[in-house]
Amino acid sequence: MSNKEAATSIIKLVGGKNNISSLIHCATRLRFELNDSSLADRDALKALPAVLGVVDSQGQTMVIIGPQVNEMYAEIMRQLETGPDGQALDSGPANPGDNAPTTAKAPKKSWFDKLLSTISAIFTPYIPILATSGIIKGLIDILAQSGILPNTSNTYLILAGAGNALIYFFPILLAFTAAQKFGASPYIGAVIGAALMEPNITGITTTGNVIDFLGIHFTAMNFSSTVIPIILAIWAYSYLDKLLKRFLPKALQFIFVPLLSVLIMVPLTLMVFGPVGGFLANLVADGYEFFLNSNVIIFNAIFGALFVYVIMLGIHWVVLPLQLSYLAEHGMEYSLGSGGMGNYALLGVCLAVMVISRSKEERTIASSSAFVNFLSGVTEPGLYGVVMKNKKYFISLTLGGLAGGIICGVTKTYITNFAFTGLFGLPAFLSSPTALTYFIAVGVTLIVSFFTTVLLSKQNIRFKKPQA
C-alpha cells in the first residue's frame, strides 16, 4: 500500500475529514484531535499495513506509524488541503461516501487531557532538534576531552553555538508553537519571546536584581532556557489578541494588534508572568529534586522500569520539560539516562524474538524493529509489532529496564546532553563523565531482557530430534 492510499484510508477510518479537529505528529505518531472520537474505526486502522497501532490518550487518537511518520503526515495534510499555516483543515468531505457529521461536538476533555495535549503540541516539533543538539554537543565535548578540538578554538565555539542555540533560545521557539496552540499569531508570539532575549533586556534582567519599568519596581529574572514563564505569557497574550480583535476596527488591526500586543506583553511578561512562571517552575523543580534526592536508587529504578510505558501512552510530555529544565540548570540529569533503559530492554526483547521465534513474519518484524531501535531509539515498532503480540514480553521489558535503572541509581549515573538512545545518540552519552557505568547499565539491561524473553518463551521452542 502506497503512502497515498494509506493516507486516504487513515482519513476515512478516523471518521473523515470533517471529523478531524487538528492533526500534529511526533517522532512516530500521528496525533489526531477528533470532533467525535467514537467515529474512528480503531480495529480497521490497526489492520492497515502502514499502521503499527492505535492509542487513545490526552484526548487524542494517536495512530502509530513509525519512522515514516513525516511522509505520512505530509500526505495526509496534502489530502486535507490545509492552509499555509498547516493548521486549518478543509471542511469539505474526504470522499463522496464520507458522511462524517459537520456539526459534531468534541467530547469534553479533562483538565489533565487538555494539559497533556497543550504540552505535546508545543514541544513536539522540537524533539528531533533537541536530539540533534545533544549529538552535536556530545561530539565536540568528546573531541575537546581528547585534546583534538580545544574548547577555546573558533571551530569549537561555532559548533557549540549550533548545539546550544535551541536550549538557550527556547523561549522564542516555544512562544511560536504556544501561540499556534492557543490560537494567536505565532509570529507576534515569537517576537514577544525574542524581546526577552534581546541584549538590552538581558543586560538588566540578572535574576534576583530589582529593576523598574515606568517607576514600577519588580524582581528580574533571566529567561534563557526557561519553559513555564513564556508559555504562561503566551497563554495570556492569546486572550489579549482576541480582545484587541474584538474591539479594534478591522482597518486598524493590521498595525495596532501587533503594536499593542508587543508593547503590553513584553513589560507584563517581565513584571508578572516571568516571576509567576518562575515561581511555578521552581515549585515543580523542587518537587522533582525532592523525589530524586530522597532515594536516587528508587528514583532511577522507577524510571528504568516504567518510563517506556509513559512514552508508550504519550504522557512523557509532562516529564520532559522537567528533565530539560534540570539539565539546563545543573548541566547534568539522571532520569534521561535511566529512563532510556526501557528502550534497550525493548531492543533485548526484539533480539531474543529474532533468535527463538519459529515464525518468519515475527522474526522479520522483530529484526526491523531492533534495527530502528538500535539506530535511533524509536520504540513504537517493537512495542506494537512485537511486545503487544505477546503479553509475556512486558515482563522482560519491565525487568530489563528495572535492572538497568537500579545500576544507574547505585552508580549515580547521569548524562550531560539530551539525546535519544541508540547509535545516533551515542556521542551525547559518551561525553558524560559517567559514560562507563551508563553503558554497563545498558549491557545488563540487554542481557536481562534477552534471557528473560528466552525463558518466558521456552515452552514454545521445539527442537527436532536427530534422525536415527
What is the set of active-site residues? 26
Q: Which three cell numbers stand for residue 138?
A: 556530545
CA atoms within a 13 Å half-sphere pointing along the CA-CB vector of 60: 26
Cα distance from N-terminal residue to C-terminal residue, the chain: 48
Task: Give CA–CA dist 383/85, Å, rounded.
Answer: 33
Q: Which three cell numbers stand for residue 397?
A: 521489558
Q: Which three cell numbers stand for residue 73?
A: 503526515
Q: How many CB atoms lie within 10 A of CB 45?
A: 20
Task: Give CA–CA dist 422/238, Å, rounded.
Answer: 39
Quickly list DSSP for 5-23. HHHHHHHHHTT-GGGEEEE
Q: How many CB atoms lie within 10 A of CB 126?
A: 19
Per the listing, cell 524533539 goes with 127
> Alpha-carbon torsion 246, 248, 251, 256, what sign?
negative
Strands (E), 19-137: 20-25, 29-34, 53-57, 60-64
Which run of H or of E encompasses 296?
Answer: helix 296-312
The angle formed by the CA atoms of residues 362, 49 and 316, to the nearest 5 degrees, is 80
From the list 181, 176, 220, the residue with the least C-alpha distance to 87 is: 181
On the 0-12 / 13-18 / 19+ scale of CB atoms within 10 A, 178 is buried
Task: Give CA–CA dist 73/252, Å, rounded.
Answer: 37
Q: Which three cell numbers stand for residue 14?
A: 478516523
Tell me the one-letter amino acid at 12.
K
Residues in a beta bridge with 32? 23, 61
Which run of H or of E encompasses 236?
Answer: helix 228-247
Task: Give CA–CA dist 37/107, Å, rounded.
Answer: 8
